[in-house]
A = this chain, B = another copy of it.
């Protein structure tokens, strides 16, 4: 029996609940969507609602000001019902899908040297099968196999240079639903059929083949053969539709991972997934996203999604687990192990992708809980495993995955930077969408900022690149000292004491979209320093672990969507990136989906990504004492050891010099 009634202003009907029910649960019963970017832990403050009336208890007010509480605000995920309650739900943060249109236009360049068309595991064969007669009563299935064993189907597809690839296929497998349609298809096509095959494994010495589809009649050799490369990011899911015949990406689409309202970072997602039916819900949400994207690319290419006969998937370990429905709890608990890094090949039907049900789903291999298939794929597409030049590969994001190495050796770590650069844990942080300040310049005399806003509208917050930019400007102009403390003695009203200590006002209320000041607080600065220190400490530990100094790095390869928007100069100034010449930094975009695409097209690339995953030595930072030291040293702007940032030292000297000149001029 329900003890209390909870009514939401935006719901049609109130719901009955027991004492102790969380408002987020009540909202779900009422069909009210309340976003929970931190997964319902009370950390992000985004699920703030207002109690218009009734008895509730707040478990946590961490993200609420005294004023908020006085006005009746509460965090839905931390508020327990203790009587009849009336709730007002403010407009939820819109998740704009600007990424989808952006990425669609991006051209795809296939790295040179991939003979993808000669060594795909997927094969389409036009088969003419001799019809049975009273003199030849072989069964349909054997008849099909005999016809397939003709050498021409194999020698032309396999690389003749490799002897074992000229062998015959050993065995042909098929699911029961396909076996059921063999006879009818052969007769419907009058013993001419199009056969689509895929290897049971992607390894080069494997000749066991599986039937993916069978259609009556022959297909022109030039007709497209569709496959898809998929990247499941924590934030964004990207789907590329690929024609295996010419190797081209014919359509692509991206959108936010549908799980995003259930947690912004992987830890929040795992926590959410471990509740009740959270696991099933998470799986359903990401499948909805993937299938929606597949539908979009197929509509753009004017094909049926059932024509897609293969999928290669990259993503971090948590995303892979949640996609496959494999419990992810162990990822966040000591000793931080995954359920599985190397999955077997699956069929689309069992995974839940709306493509040809027999299509192979190849989930690329991960290395550890926080270095997943997205990084293996990223290293592949960056090419760092194939050059003697010492390289640093970064995916700047929540997990801060870093790979250091060359064709001879590879070490990797994840430095738990946290989501500060994605706008979380920062009072006015936000994602890089419309209204986000993405770049800031501060006037050295007036200390007033100017800024650029995504979408050229009034600002509503700061995204990652804006935060890095702001932090660098505050530091270079002396508003922040190297310890990250605001200088309250400067002649500007932009530095003031707020509820969270000292803060800097970037935009006054009348300039902003929401009519409130946009500020960067001392707490925000601390969070950002911790994030950048974690990433930089990762580099240090990796370099120390192999005894190769960081300054031997010849190139820094930056993957991930965030990487594309970063201002290297500013990132070096705050000590996030190592101090190197700008032309040594390369922004590679979504290296994860590109790696999936390469592995899809080329068996050798698939073998290589496995080799990369096997070769990468994973360094667990939380078990590494030297990490804490490196982290502490990096908690400064740009670093305790200024010798590591000679260009920043030089810049600071120049600024100081200019200031003297100016002051002298004033005098």
Determine which of B134, B182, B326 lies in contact with A183 in the assembled complex, contact meaning CB atoms within 8 Å: B326
Rounded to whole Å, the gap between the CB of A500 and the closest CB of chain B is 35
Whether the Cβ atoms of B340 and A179 lie closer than 8 Å is yes
Q: How far is the CA of A176 from the CA of B344 in the complex (A)?
A: 9
Taken together as a complex, chains A and B put the C-alpha atoms of A333 and B176 apart, in Å, by: 23
- Using Cβ atoms and an 8 Å threshold, which residues of chain B touch A183? 326-327, 329-330, 339
The answer to whether B327 and A134 touch across the interface, beta carbons within 8 angstroms, is no
What's the Cα separation between A180 and B368 when bound, in Å?
17
- The reply to whether B179 and A134 form a contact with Cβ atoms under 8 Å apart is no
Q: Which residues of B contact A327 (CB under 8 A)?
A: 180, 183-184
**Is the CB–CB distance between A139 and B339 below 8 Å?**
yes
A460 is an interface residue with CB less than 8 A from chain B: no
Contacts of A329 in B (CB 8 A): 183
In the complex, the chain B residue whose C-beta lies closest to that of A143 is B337
Contact A340-B176, Cβ < 8 Å, known A171-B201, A334-B134, A335-B134: no
Known: A139-B339, A183-B326. 14 other contacts (CB 8 A): A132-B335, A132-B337, A134-B336, A137-B335, A137-B336, A137-B620, A140-B337, A175-B350, A176-B350, A179-B340, A179-B344, A182-B326, A182-B339, A184-B327
Q: Is there contact, CB below 8 Å, between A173 and B344?
A: yes
Q: List 20 A-B contacts (CB under 8 A).
A: A132-B335, A134-B335, A134-B336, A139-B338, A139-B342, A140-B330, A140-B337, A140-B338, A141-B339, A141-B340, A141-B341, A142-B341, A143-B337, A175-B350, A176-B324, A176-B350, A176-B351, A179-B326, A179-B340, A180-B327
Closest to A175 in B: B350
Any chain B CB within 8 A of the CB of A664?
no
* A623: interface (CB < 8 Å): yes
Task: Give the complex CA separation of A180 and B324 in angstroms.
Answer: 8
Distance between A362 CB and nearest chain B CB, rounded to angstroms: 14
Residue of B nearest to A141 (CB): B340
Residues from chain B with a CB closer than 8 A to the CB of A173 are 344
How many protomers of this protein does the assembly include? 2
B residues within 8 A CB of A451? none
Question: Which residues of A line the B interface, CB within 8 A?
Answer: 132-143, 171, 173-176, 179-180, 182-184, 201, 324-327, 329-330, 334-344, 346, 350-351, 368-369, 618, 620, 622-623
Instruction: Kindly state the separation between the CA atoms of A493 and B174 in the bound complex, as whole angstroms.
Output: 65
Given contacts A171-B201, A173-B344, A179-B326, contact A138 B337 (CB under 8 A): yes
> Cα distance A184–B330 when bound, in Å?
10
Q: Which of A139, A141, A175, A324 has the most CB of B within 10 A?
A: A139
Inter-subunit contact A135/B623 (CB<8 Å):
yes
Q: How far is the CA of A464 from the CA of B138 in the complex (A)?
A: 33
How far apart are A172's CB and chain B's nearest CB, in angstroms? 8
Report B-chain residues with C-beta under 8 Å of the C-beta of A176: 324-325, 346, 350-351
Q: Which of B139, B180, B338, B618 contacts A325 (CB 8 A)?
A: B180
A326–B342 Cα distance when bound, in Å, is 34
In the complex, the answer to whether A339 meets B179 with C-beta atoms within 8 Å is yes
Given A176-B324, A324-B180, A335:B140 Cβ within 8 A:
no
Cα A173 to Cα B342 with chains together (Å): 11
Contact indicator A139/B340 (Cβ below 8 Å) = yes
Q: How far is the CA of A637 from the CA of B576 in the complex (A)?
A: 102
Nearest chain B CB to A369 CB, angstrom units: 7
Cβ of B344 and Cβ of A620 under 8 Å apart? no
Q: How far is the CB of A177 from chain B (nearest CB, A)?
A: 8
Question: In the assembled complex, how far is the CB of residue A506 from the closest CB belonging to chain B, in whole angstroms?
Answer: 42
- Which chain B positions have C-beta within 8 A of A142? 340-342
Residues of B within 8 A of A133 (CB): 335
CA distance A583 to B176 in the complex (A): 46
Cα distance, A329 to B180, chains bound together (Å): 12
* A134-B334, A137-B620 known; A180 vs B341 contact (CB < 8 Å): no
Chain B residue at minimal CB-CB distance from A344? B173
With most chain B CB atoms within 10 A of its CB, the pick from A132, A336, A337, A623 is A337
